[in-house]
Chains A and B, each alone.
Chain A
């Protein structure tokens, strides 16, 4: 028990920059092998410099130059893979630049930018949802839910089957036909008012994102952190976006006040470690 308390105190006594830089570094080391869209000639010198800084400086994670090099690495890759790089590739670049400008101990810069970044991610996602007809009429969620792409982790624990199998066979046969020969196929709903349910679920997600954006700037310690954690868990259970969630959680940690850290740091760190394990083992998305 004492050992656990010592470990907990070790992490609690680190400032937010040290915590975030260590957690985020684990993720970027894993992901940098997978986001290689660039011609190697452009990234090889950056990688060499990264290795040089890392091997010659004990506190390399606290150095702005280290994070600038990582930001450059991911930005060069983004330029080459702009049409295929995921949106959280952009967030990774933002966090690299954030660590560069907040290094080594500008805690107020880190906390403020982390809050604003999370707020912008949530608000911009809400805007995108509002301007999407497929989202607002429930058809997107209905289709993807129908194909079994949601609640994958839950389905491993509580086996359920949303999909009437005979309809999936119809869809599979239809999509290989030339589109002009294709017809509309009436589908059997998994339950009554399935589309309306999915539309309501879409609104639920939207309200959750708005709530996170608003709560970031309140002082309701317990309500806001509980909401943040529930939203993170909710996203994980809905869809295995473990890479994005890991980056998002490091931002949540970055904006934690000293008071909130005492109660909530173990939960955020536990969630971070869970997501990292899922990413590395291949059970989640990078």
Chain B
């Protein structure tokens, strides 16, 4: 009865489809904290990621008065990709010769050292 009645299987099917779509997006660079794949608390939150334009750190702070700008930069941190990079370059008028990178804080468990790992670079 339950298998033939759509009310019993439609929602679970949607959840599973969303999960696999998130895994696909994850393979393209989407943070595990986003996309509906329930990967929270499996990696450092993308808010801790740093966007560097050449030697300048881009900060998400109150100086970003436009909500859209804040949303765009957070989206770039969550999905470091050439797709989001193009949007960021256009919105903030960053020329193509400037290097844009995203770095994330990490801990090396073997010897408990703090370091930063580059997860995206525009010049690779």
Q: Which 10 A-B pairs have the closest CB atoms?
A: A90-B36, A83-B75, A132-B42, A128-B39, A125-B38, A143-B107, A139-B109, A184-B113, A184-B115, A135-B42
A interface footprint on B39-54 (CB within 8 Å = 1, 0 otherwise)? 1111110000010100
A185 in the interface, Cβ–Cβ < 8 Å?
A: yes
- Which residues of A sit under 8 angstroms from B52, Cβ to Cβ? 178-179
- Given known pairs A128-B32, A179-B52, A186-B113, the reply for A239 and B41 (CB within 8 Å) is yes
Interfacial residues of chain B within 1-24, with CB under 8 A of chain A in the complex:
2, 7-8, 10-12, 14-16, 18-19
Bound complex: CA of A19 vs CA of B84, how far in Å? 43
**Total CB contacts across the A-B interface at under 8 A:** 148
- Which residues of A sit under 8 angstroms from B114, Cβ to Cβ? 143, 167, 170-171, 174, 184-185, 187
Point out residues on A near B: beta carbons under 8 Å. 37, 81-87, 89-90, 94, 97-98, 101-102, 106, 109, 112-113, 116-117, 120-121, 124-125, 128-129, 132, 134-135, 137-140, 142-144, 146, 167, 170-171, 174-176, 178-179, 182-187, 189, 194-195, 199, 205, 239
B30 in the interface, Cβ–Cβ < 8 Å?
A: yes
B124 in the interface, Cβ–Cβ < 8 Å?
A: no
- Which residues of B sit under 8 angstroms from A187, Cβ to Cβ? 107, 112-114
Contacting pair B71 A137 (CB below 8 A)? no
Contacting pair A83 B109 (CB below 8 A)? no
Q: Is the interface of A mostly helix, strand, loop or mixed?
A: helix
Bound complex: CA of A62 vs CA of B109, how far in Å? 52
A174 nearest CB neighbor, chain B only: B114
B97 CB to closest chain A CB (Å) equals 17
Q: Is the interface of B mostly helix, strand, loop or mixed?
A: mixed
Contacting pair A135 B43 (CB below 8 A)? yes
B98 in the interface, Cβ–Cβ < 8 Å?
A: no
B121 CB to closest chain A CB (Å) equals 10
Known A94-B15, A121-B38, A129-B41; 15 more pairs at CB < 8 Å: A83-B79, A87-B36, A113-B12, A117-B15, A120-B12, A120-B15, A125-B39, A140-B43, A143-B106, A143-B107, A171-B105, A174-B114, A175-B105, A176-B57, A179-B116
Point out residues on B near A: beta carbons under 8 Å. 2, 7-8, 10-12, 14-16, 18-19, 30, 32-44, 50, 52, 55, 57, 71, 74-75, 78-79, 84, 101, 103, 105-109, 111-116, 118
- Which residues of B sit under 8 angstroms from A124, Cβ to Cβ? 15, 19, 37-38
Interface centre among B2, B33, B112 (most CB of A within 10 A): B112
Bound complex: CA of A112 vs CA of B8, how far in Å? 7
Picked from A125, A140, A194, the residue with its CB within 8 Å of the CB of B112 is: A194
A116 nearest CB neighbor, chain B only: B12
A73 CB to closest chain B CB (Å) equals 17
B17 CB to closest chain A CB (Å) equals 11
Contacting pair A113 B8 (CB below 8 A)? yes
Contacting pair A179 B8 (CB below 8 A)? no
Picked from B2, B7, B34, B115, the residue with its CB within 8 Å of the CB of A84 is: B34
Contacting pair B42 A82 (CB below 8 A)? no
- Which residues of B sit under 8 angstroms from A129, Cβ to Cβ? 41-42
Contacting pair A37 B71 (CB below 8 A)? yes
Bound complex: CA of A184 vs CA of B50, how far in Å? 17
Bound complex: CA of A97 vs CA of B10, how far in Å? 10
22 contacting pairs across A/B (C-beta < 8 A): A83-B78, A87-B34, A87-B36, A102-B7, A109-B8, A113-B12, A117-B12, A120-B15, A128-B37, A132-B43, A134-B42, A134-B106, A139-B109, A142-B109, A143-B105, A144-B44, A171-B105, A175-B50, A179-B118, A184-B108, A187-B112, A187-B113
